[in-house]
Structure 1
Amino acid sequence: MARARLRDLGISIGLLPPGPKNGITDVPGVLVGQVTLVEDSPHIIRTGITTIVPQDGAIWRRNLFAAGHVLNGNSEVTGLTWINEFGLLCGPLALTGTFSIGAVHEGMVDAELTLDTGADFKMPLVSETYDGWLSESENFVLRPHHALEALKAATADPVKEGNAGGGTGTNAHEFKAGTGTASRLVALGGEEWTVGILVQTNYGDRERLVLDGVPVGREIPTTDIPSCFAERKVDGSILVVIATDAPLLPHQLKRLAQRAGLGLARAGGLGWPGSGDVFIAFSTGNDLGQATDPGRKLPVEGLRMLPDFALQPLMGAVVEATEEAIWNSLCAAETMTGRKGRTSHALPIKRLPDIMRRYGRT
């Protein structure tokens, strides 16, 4: 059966409607670009970069409110201390493999100099998950120029999922996984807001894999589809990026970022000690311009925000879309063989509708 997204199989999650693309690029102005490297010679390479441009246009001059949350900290994110201190996202984000974080950071700085020479602040946000199980990542094939390529490729088109971008060489719940995305629309205060999620999945054991409360992982034992690991492995990492056009302040975005952990838990991820579970949230609802320029008058009088007690539907949107994005990363991914002949098998998606029906889901 051809690879498909979860809703293509007739399976939906939650109560809120998705956006037209059911992805992070449903948030107006948000773009995603990817570089995917799959090579067999001279090294076995299964890696890549996913870049997220928060606002189309002068991408390093429109600083936005943002926040980060770390569920379990066995991971690395450059620029996270800046976000936690100032509550600002100062440019694009990049997701990649663990050993490539330095090269991508260098490439993001170079890209800033190349694409926006008037930008005044160079603190790229780059995060990682480990793809060395399938990729000979220690050979450093991913170079700084690939970050520029990924940024130049950024588009509002639907995001390529599964074995694409930073998730090219990753696995989840002992199946092949990678990049996934989803979105939700929220009616609030007489207006409609969009919440978009992008995940890079590399975590979890099969026994805990759950879809809308159904223990799917137990229904697909390793005797049917072998695990991608020689021995049972439960830790790993997941990156979750949350974008919204709802006008939120940093402390409110922090609350949204925390809810990504609930979506992760619904899919069967529990934030084990060896995991790197990092969530970043940003809002395009207030454009702060070059907020790092001390001589610039900030548009304080023009700031908007939603009341804190009105955030409930946005929190629900984060939970639902995170769970669905994880499942899209699994459903879209194809079987991949990498270093040392290791094979990570695709989730057998043709079995999902029948499993769900047997548990009373329609």
Structure 2
Amino acid sequence: MKLTCVIEDRIPGIGGPIMRYANEFSKKHPSIQVVEVGWDDKREPDISAVFRRVEVNGPDREPIPEAFINNSDTDLLCGSFCPFSGSGMDAFDHLRIIGIMRAGMENIDIRAATQRGIAVVNAAGRNADAVSDFTIGMLLSECRNIAKAHHVIKSGGWTHDFPSSSMTPDLRGKTVGVFGFGYIGKLVVEKLSGFHVNVIVYDPYVDDESIEKYGAKRAEKEELFKNADFVCVHARLTKDTEKSIGRAELSVMKPTAYLINTARSGLVDYDALYSMLANHRMAGAALDVFDSEPLDPNDRFVSLDNVTLTTHLAGSTVDAANNSARLIFERMEDVIAGKKVSGFVNPEVLSDERFSKWVAKAKEEFGL
């Protein structure tokens, strides 16, 4: 059985954790042959531009990676950002599981995989601690002017006077609205409990019991934006959720409220957000994600005095990178073993005869 690990060439340090856990997986199951291959798109001088293009347009417009063509006998395939299109999957003779080393699925055609009897697992939850930690840091940094004060001192100044100084809050007793209640949203609520805040949640895909378990209350979308002192965005970006936070939602926010986005910029109408901030119709925003990255030094948000901006850092920790690889190989094994698997994106593939026959053979090889 062949495991092919596609490593994005221009991402520093990404290959180490993947290959370490791949080799451990192979030691546990000696029938696995591990192959490491590189991937890049030399047409773009900035690799992040490639990721953004795939994220926006999907994988189908991208060329098939040579690594696929040169490793057509692969059974298990993993990668992070390279495009996994239907035509790319057709380059393989008997591919049966794809592992995506992150939670985002914009670079893979899930339907095409299911149609071909290929299971897909992702690393959902891999950076949930990293992003939830960062979210609370951004919330505090913006409402307490931490980053702004740092910048003033580094620039040779000293002041207590910031645009939001007249409304700088304590967190105790305030209402935090969590927009999206997956892995990250739940952890944000857990970690905020020590601040003695009230939490309301908007997520139409989560039942009341799951929300109440975390000491939070369900709110309708307008209710959340109207009543929250802080809105933390944690939804998944899909066609249904794109620009789901628009002018209508932002316009009902309190003038003392803050928006924190460490998820995806596409969830928020940034034109409407800019207008709200520029006209000081809300207290501020903390943004880690943008419609175009890297952010242009002359971008309109840079000129605002009521924002905290960071360079898409929320999920970037050493622990998150290790978690990605560990989770993927654990989940591959669990799919083969027939266990209930978190991060199994297309479980309907279990009824595909091509997949079930391969799983039976793999179980025997693995001694499961």
- TM-score, normalisation: structure 1: 0.26
Structure having the higher strand fraction is 1
More relative contact order, 1 or 2 (CA 8 Å, 6+ apart): 1
Structure having the higher helix fraction is 2
Q: Which has the larger radius of gyration?
A: 2
